[in-house]
Amino acid sequence: MTPPTSRYQDEAVDNDIAKLHLANELADKAVRHANPRALPPRYSDVYPSGPLSKIAGVRLPHQPSSTLWDVAIEDGRISAVEPHQQCSDRRHMPGVLNGSNRLLAPSLCHAHIHLDKCFLLQDPKFSDLQLENGDFQEAMDMTGKAKERFEDDDLMRRGRQLIEESIHYGVTVMRAFVEVDGGVRFKCLDAGLKLKKEFEDRCEIQICAFAQLPLFSGSDGGEEARSLMTEATHREGVDVVGSTPYVEQDEVKMKMNVRWISMMALFNEKPLDLHLDYFLDESRTPLVWSALEIIKGRNWVENQGKQITMGHCTRLTRFKEEEWQRLKQEIGNLPVAFVGLPTSDLFMMRTSEGLRGTLPVVEMIEQFGFNAAIAVNNVGNAFTPQGNCDPLAIASLGVGLYQAGTKEGAETLYASSLQTVSARAKDAIGCESTSLEITVGEPADFVLFDRMDTGWRCRKSIVEVVCDAGSARQTIRRGRVTAF
């Protein structure tokens, strides 16, 4: 709950409002003089930085598009949802944001995004590192070369750019991976923790201390990597621990990786994030079976283990129905969520016959009842040179990828964005979310689509948003506008 504002802060806010009212009056006169028929700027669109008490005149996802609603907000949560009440002039009503008939939907989420290696292909510092083959090994090698040059200034510059762009697109929550290894040591982690603090009022950033390199392979058997990860796990501000077992040199060491990182997560009461089975070869047994066996062997549920998220898992795309049913049974009551990463998976994962694959999240959710979502993963690097920071771009890709153009399919893609772009994405990483129903008591975390002057082209439903979200949006987190 937000602490009450002090008397001095109240006076400062009142002074700001008074100054803004005067500025509005002067602006109104200037506009009317230049063009008597032009509309003056709305107060709520000029000064949206304080806490909102109401978002007025909006369309809602599960309501007829012809009906407008007012969403009241108190202490950062939805306090009422009522039919829209007309008001002739809202310019001088502090805390009221005029929705102008636009669609208001739950805010978006990055359930899986790499903060430290974003924009490497665009940053001038790394301009000599460009793609030639476009395969996984090249991506690993190129990223390794870039990491040798990582310094605080470029890590902060690139990370800040990713977070700012994400907030612009409607993101209020993200799980950000930062690598810890013998090369970068804590450079990426230190930058990530500073960015988490810098943006704490505008975006909830979960920092995942992440072992991208082997924990049990290599010249020293991974001893240095394990030592660094142990120290990182105990750092204040680190929310999640994770690893990539598939980078180990053999299956025995992959299982050792899962055993070790799951122990670190369980004993330190942190969620676990595993990047698993990043291949398509049907002749290879997926590690997911062993990973689940190891985790259950730790009595995960009985010991109150946190959320387990499994990313990529492209080998599972070759599963038959009986294998999906077996997987559902093996998971049982474990708190497991899957995150598909289509842009990276489709770029990286291909067989010699040209077959590509990414988790079938819509089928996993609708047919088998898995907790699953999709996410961005990488932006502007050798693992994913295409795309941007917009989670809805992934949902839009999913319309064709999963043949999900119906109302139900589009809403699954948006809500399964809770693991991909909205509620399911947030659920996948253990965060509280706002539902498509926009219910009293839920967090006032929203994205408001389009501009006020969009007219008939204004998006009126989740289907329209998923098919083409546009780029003009306002982001609201806990009842405060964070991007507009």
- What CATH number corresponds to the domain at position 397? 3.20.20.140
- What CATH number corresponds to the domain at position 452? 2.30.40.10
Q: For 421-442, how does the pLDDT look when each residue is reduced to its tens digit (9 = 90+)? A: 567 777 778 888 888 899 999 9
Within 13 A of 160's CA, how many CA atoms are on the CB side? 10
Last residue of a domain, one of 403, 428, 453: 428
For residues 341 and 461, membership in a common domain is answered with no
Q: For 137-148, how does the pLDDT look when each residue is reduced to its tens digit (9 = 90+)? A: 899 999 999 999
For residues 477 and 351, membership in a common domain is answered with no
**155 Cβ partners below 8 Å, 6+ apart?**
116, 187, 188, 191
Q: In the chain, what percentage of residues exceed pLDDT 70?
A: 84
| 224 within domain boundaries | yes
| 9 within domain boundaries | no
For residues 185 and 88, membership in a common domain is answered with no
Domain that holds residue 407: 108-428
| 464 within domain boundaries | yes
In the predicted model, is pLDDT for residue 464 greater than 70? yes
For residues 95 and 225, membership in a common domain is answered with no
In the predicted model, is pLDDT for residue 18 greater than 70? no
Higher pLDDT, 377 or 45: 377
Give pTM, 2 decimals: 0.85
By CB atoms closer than 10 A (0-12, 13-18, 19+), residue 272 is: buried
| 435 within domain boundaries | no
For residues 94 and 113, membership in a common domain is answered with no
Number of domains in the chain: 2
* DSSP-assigned states of every residue in 154-170: HHHHHHHHHHHHHHHHT
Q: For 121-160, how does the pLDDT look when each residue is reduced to its tens digit (9 = 90+)? A: 999 999 999 988 888 889 999 999 999 999 999 999 999 9
Is the Cβ–Cβ distance between 156 and 461 less than 8 Å? no
For residues 303 and 352, membership in a common domain is answered with yes
For residues 250 and 397, membership in a common domain is answered with yes
pLDDT band at 402 (very low <50, low <70, confident <90, very high): confident
Over residues 59-81, mean pLDDT: 93
Which residue from 62, 50, 25 is spatially nearest to 40, judged by alpha carbons?
25
pLDDT band at 338 (very low <50, low <70, confident <90, very high): very high
Q: For 197-234, how does the pLDDT look when each residue is reduced to its tens digit (9 = 90+)? A: 999 999 999 999 999 999 999 888 899 999 999 999 99
Tell me what the pLDDT averaged over the chain comes to: 85
For residues 191 and 335, membership in a common domain is answered with yes
| 21 within domain boundaries | no
For residues 95 and 114, membership in a common domain is answered with no
CB count, 10 Å around CB of 417?
31
For residues 352 and 241, membership in a common domain is answered with yes
For residues 160 and 246, membership in a common domain is answered with yes
For residues 186 and 335, membership in a common domain is answered with yes
* pLDDT given for residue 106 in this prediction: 94
- The DSSP 8-state label assigned to residue 356 in this structure reads B
Over residues 370-381, mean pLDDT: 92
| 465 within domain boundaries | yes
